[in-house]
Amino acid sequence: MNNPALTIQNLNTHACQSAASVLRKCVIVYAGLIAVTVSDAHADCADIRLLESGMDRAQLQLMDMGSLVDPGPNQRRIVEEAKGFFTPLHCHAVTHIAYVNTDGDNVEKLAWVGGVIRDLINLSAISSKLSENNLSQPSQAAGYRANAVKTIVHEATHAADNLLDYVAPQRPVGVGERFIAKNAWSRANLQFARKVVQTNLLDRGLRHEWEKLHTAAVRLGYAQNYHHQGNLDMSADDIIKMGVASGYGGDEPAEDIAEMASGILTGRVWSKYGAIVPSPPDDLICDRMRAEPGPGIPQELALIYAKVGLLNSVGLIGDLDYDYCVGNLKVSAPGNGFFTIRDNRQENAYTGDVKGTIGQRSKDGAWVFQLEASGSVGVAGEPRPARIELLIPLAAAGEPRPSFPRGLFNVGQGGTTVNIYYTHEGEEKLGVSVESGVLLMSRASTQLIEGSIVVFRFVNWTSLLALPEVAGNTRITFKKKN
């Protein structure tokens, strides 16, 4: 998270006073929405402690179950290789790693983060898993080691999810969790996580936001429900159709987050080790997106694209990993503002006075997201000063402040609106409105707002007969970054 904060600014007073009468809106800006900068400073992954048998009893109390195994050189090496793929958030979230002899429910697992200890990665040291003897065998070649690295990063992502949930101010906490769950997160770890939560408005936690994103896509027909059947064997096409990264990721939101992040971060580790890439590859979603020529995003990849953007916004994948994964599908917005693109050629740009707001409408108290910018539009063959406005309903009056809009939204039909207003003799009038289309909010935080709108039909209210017109191959991209 090296980008400076994106300031969410208040709407200017004239925006409330001069809106077209048919769509008059005035937003009361929520005072608590301020810019938050996530510090570049982070805990070095060297601070993560690999537990050893000689440690005192206070350290041993961190264990969920099983008996601690003193790690050998190969076991240490695989941990260091995995830590090389951690992001700063992973480094803050994982405090301890332990090799343990497992029994019971965990005997089949390679690694896990327990329900009680939220920041400890347990690695199975039984003979068939990550024992020192097994890792030293020539037969356990590159593919085995690559899978072990990916699994450790997967579990580190669970720890990161746990950390963000732990500091989320509005997340419900059960009695059992409140009195049983333990962690060794430091003040610096918690402070880092709180800034991530504030920057992304994750007041109810990452898992809540992720599930909301997925559920909305299912409702619009862009994805399928989680199957809740564990590590289900699925074809690559079925995985993509569900809107996840793997069969295991299709189980439920927490596994979806961990599988997608670890797959992106370590997808190239197989080739790095000279191993045969699994089928489907662990970076299946990146493989599919990179195969697309762009700039349009296929419907089956839209939810995945938004999820990858959320992983980047919270710091579970870095900027370079994001760029590599989305390939040519990266939103084509050359700067801050709105950009109208027809047949892959930019037609118009609105780049002045770009402002973004989450607030409540004065008329009914409903929560809305508004992004606007100024430019010009042709009216009767003459350029006129204009303002473009994207408005997304978020929550009803009386509900807590919602998070940023993310993912897919239908435009028109009484929901999300995209309007262009022009100024004539000092009065703002409605010029163009999108009657139907689809909005994809690809990334949204106080640092970056980014997305695109595919326009199906629009109405030009300045024409003599204002009737819906087919837009053709028209998109509107937008960005606000400070």
User: Would you say residue 150 has pLDDT above 50?
Assistant: yes
Tokens of 145: 């080691």
Is pLDDT larger for residue 100 or for residue 245? 245
Shared domain for 29 and 177, answered yes or no, is no
Residue whose entry in the numeric block shows the structure tokens 């209210």: 461
Q: Going by C-beta distance under 8 Å and a sequence separation of 6 or more, which residues neighbour residue 128? A: 134
Same domain, 317 and 337: no
pLDDT at 98 over 50: yes
Q: Are residues 89 and 184 in the same domain?
A: yes
CATH number (domain holding residue 294): 3.40.390
The per-residue pLDDT for 17 is 31
- Residue 54 confidence class, pLDDT cut points 50, 70, 90: low
Tell me, yes or no, whether 274 and 174 share the same domain.
Answer: yes
Residue 78 has pLDDT above 60, yes or no: yes
Is 86 domain-assigned? yes
Classify residue 343: in a domain, yes or no: yes
Task: Tell whether 5 is covered by a domain.
Answer: no
Same domain, 324 and 438: no
Higher pLDDT, 186 or 425: 186
Are 274 and 144 within 8 A, CB to CB?
no
| Domain count within the chain | 2
Q: Residue 431 sits in which domain range?
A: 13-33+333-481
DSSP label of 48? S
pLDDT at 237 over 60: yes
Residue 136, amino acid: S
Instruction: Kindly indicate the confidence band of residue 294, based on its pLDDT and cuts at 50, 70 and 90.
Output: confident
Mean pLDDT, rounded, for 182-189: 92
Is a pLDDT exceeding 50 seen at residue 187?
yes
The CA distance from 23 to 1, in Å, is 38
Task: Mark which of 329, 359, 387 sits at the end of a domain.
Answer: 329
Residue 110 lies in a domain: yes
On whether both 29 and 113 belong to a single domain, the answer is no
Same structural domain for residues 171 and 293?
Answer: yes
Find the helix or strand (DSSP H, E) in which 8 lies.
none
Is the pLDDT at 87 greater than 70, yes or no? yes
Asked if the structure places residue 4 within a domain, the reply is no
In sequence order, the 6+-apart residues with CB closer than 8 A to the CB of 340 are 346, 347, 348, 349, 474, 475, 476
* Residue 55 phi, psi dihedral angles, 5° rounding: -75, 160
Q: Residue 3 has what pLDDT?
A: 32
My answer on whether 162 and 17 are in the same domain is no
| CB neighbourhood size of 442 (10 A) | 28
Q: What is the mean pLDDT of residues 346-370?
A: 93
pLDDT band at residue 286 under the 50/70/90 scheme: very high
Q: Where are the beta strands (DSSP E) in 22-61?
A: 27-29, 49-50
Give the dihedral sign, CA 382/385/388/389.
negative
Which of 296, 329, 362 corresponds to the end of one domain? 329
Tell me whether residue 170 is in a domain: yes
**pLDDT above 60 for 22:** no
pTM of this structure: 0.88
Residue 6 lies in a domain: no
Contact 317, 308 (CB under 8 A): yes
Residue 317 and residue 439 in one domain: no
Q: Are 202 and 38 in contact (CB under 8 A)?
A: no
How many C-beta atoms lie closer than 10 Å to residue 438's C-beta?
20
Element (H, E) at 53: none
Q: In this predicted structure, what is the pLDDT of residue 67?
A: 81
Q: According to the model, what pLDDT value does residue 107 have?
A: 72
Of the residues 329, 344, 366, the one at which a domain ends: 329
- How many DSSP H helices and E strands does the chain contain? 15, 16
Q: Is 295 exposed, middle or buried (0-12, 13-18, 19+ CB in 10 A)?
A: middle
At 202, the amino acid letter reads L
Residues 385 and 262 in one domain: no
Residues 139 and 81 in one domain: yes
Q: Could you give phi then psi for residue 16, rounded to 5 degrees?
A: -75, -35
CA distance 283 to 260: 8
In a domain, 8, yes or no: no
pLDDT tier at 390, thresholds 50, 70, 90: very high
Tell me, yes or no, whether 17 and 69 share the same domain: no
pLDDT at site 172: 81
